[in-house]
Amino acid sequence: MNESTPSSRPLLIVDDDATFVRVLARAMDSRGFEVVTANNADEARSQARRHHPRHCVLDLKLGDENGLKLVAELQALVPDMRILLLTGYASIATAVEAIKRGAHDYLAKPVDADAVVRALMEEESAGGEDELPEAPEAPLALRRLEWEHIQRVLTECDGNISETARRLGMHRRTLQRKLGKHPVRERPDQDH
């Protein structure tokens, strides 16, 4: 794809993990996308201004920066850009906040390129229809609810661990230990 072609608008991949960016960029390129990349918020803003990407794959954690904050900035720079947020810490609270801030979809890492393509193309074919996700039949486990609450407060504190620990009334190290664990899964046999 040629950058000078008006109909060709690239995919912007924003992640502070250079290896992940390289692998995903190569995979998306082989699937027909023109790809531009950024490793931090400043580069992302610069690439958005320069290339006016049609799609963006954005990581929630960009080093010390929060990808959620970047969603609105990128939307302001390129209003019709569709943003897919990726995170290693999948939680309902983070997903809701991402959508409220303007992201169009949300995937948990690890993610493969086919899942990214499906998410980007489903957005295109959905034509703006609002589909409500099905509510779980069984209540969430207590540990999962705790995880969700921690993620919600962490999001409200813009990723600041010390402030989150203060608001939750727990020691900072305890919070870091809880965040270091993978999110609690609901029941593995839930899809029956």
- List, for residues 101-157, the tens digit of each pLDDT value: 778 887 877 788 888 888 887 755 544 444 444 444 444 555 666 777 787 788 888
Q: Tell me: the pLDDT tens digits for 6-57?
A: 337 899 999 998 898 999 999 999 999 999 999 999 999 999 999 999 999 9
* In the predicted structure, residue 187 carries a pLDDT above the cut 50: no
CA-CA distance, 18 to 7, in Å (whole number)? 28
* In the predicted structure, residue 91 carries a pLDDT above the cut 90: no
Domains of the chain: 11-126 (3.40.50.2300), 142-180 (1.10.10.60)
pLDDT at 182: 57
The whole-model pTM stands at 0.62
pLDDT at 178: 77
pLDDT at 48: 95
DSSP-assigned letters across all residues of the chain: --TTSTT--PEEEE-S-HHHHHHHHHHHHHTT--EEEESSHHHHHHHHHHH--SEEEEESEETTEEHHHHHHHHHHHSTT-EEEEEESS--HHHHHHHHHTT-SEEEESS--HHHHHHHHHHHHHHTT---PPPPPSSPPPHHHHHHHHHHHHHHHTTT-HHHHHHHHTS-HHHHHHHHHSPPPP--TT---
